[in-house]
Structure 1
Amino acid sequence: MKIIRMLLLAIAAISLFSIAAGAQTKKKPVKAKSTASKTPTIPPLDVRAARAKVDELLGLVTRFATNLEAGAKSIEDIDNEAKLNRVRKQSLDQNAKDKNTVINAIRNLREGMVKLETEFRTKPALKKYLPTIQGISDLAGQAETSAVGGKFVAANAPIQSIQQKLTNTLAAMPNVPI
């Protein structure tokens, strides 16, 4: 019985030590972190130039939207008063002139947007930003259609959507000076 007990104790000790030895693994060497800074990659010139154009167009659209918001209501009010024959001829002439000015300004903005959107479609470096800017010329067309129809207040909604798209495009593009 003592022999069996000694054998079992020896087997238990050997198995215990073999499990403990198996659990020990070789430590992996720790790689030293490099302290050298990476040089930032500069986006292509097309991207930097397009960002400047988007920024400029956003400024123009923002100013135009602010001015349109202020003047659109008065243009429509004068039109409503004219239907009731409560407006002088001079005011009607000035209102017609203001309408044409607004419509021409929307057309000019639309031309710039069509050029910019075409640039994003045709240049390979800008194609990844196309989904964020795509549709601004269509929105400008909606604003123009509303203005031609005499709905100047309604023309401001597509202009504000254009502002949002241009802002999103600027956020997506890298901010590196030309």
Structure 2
Amino acid sequence: METAQQHFGRLDGALVSVGGPTPGSAASVDDEQWRHAFETVFLGSVRMVRTVAAALPDGGAIALVLSTSARAPVPGLGISNGLRPGLAGVAKDVADEYGPRGVRVVGLLPGRILTDRNRELFAASGDPEQAQAEAEAGIPLRRIGEPAEFGRVAAFVLSPAASYLTGITLPVDGGALRGL
């Protein structure tokens, strides 16, 4: 926080992203992998939100990078399926708590975005091109999102242009989630 404040002169908001936990089904990953993910993904996010919120002026914004697994389980990502819905609940809870200060909190739910993480998941299938093609077939836009597309959404929700958005989860998934 100090470095950001020194470099930029102030802190208006933060994008909290902790990466993805070990892939595997909920039953196949061991207790140590669950504990590590809870400590880093779940508690790491909660700690960062508290730290950022304490440093933010009134009217600031926090966006948490979660996953579409916060709304619908993703096959092969059991730990994420278990932790991300809880973080979505935390985001809503702290949005209510920090709202009177004008501090907004939004959860972003990336689907398939062409990141190193998704490249690794495709590669783990043994046939990355086939895995990507299958993923694209399940997305109404029939393509994987670009990191810059996700970045533009994140920049918007953290900006004053989104000053009336808080306590929501916003899918950035090309329409892949089937819920309303």
Fold match (TM-score > 0.5):
no
Larger radius of gyration: 1
Length-normalised TM-score, structure 1: 0.31
Of the two structures, which has the highest relative contact order with CA contacts closer than 8 Å and spacing of 6 or more? 1
Length-normalised TM-score, structure 2: 0.31
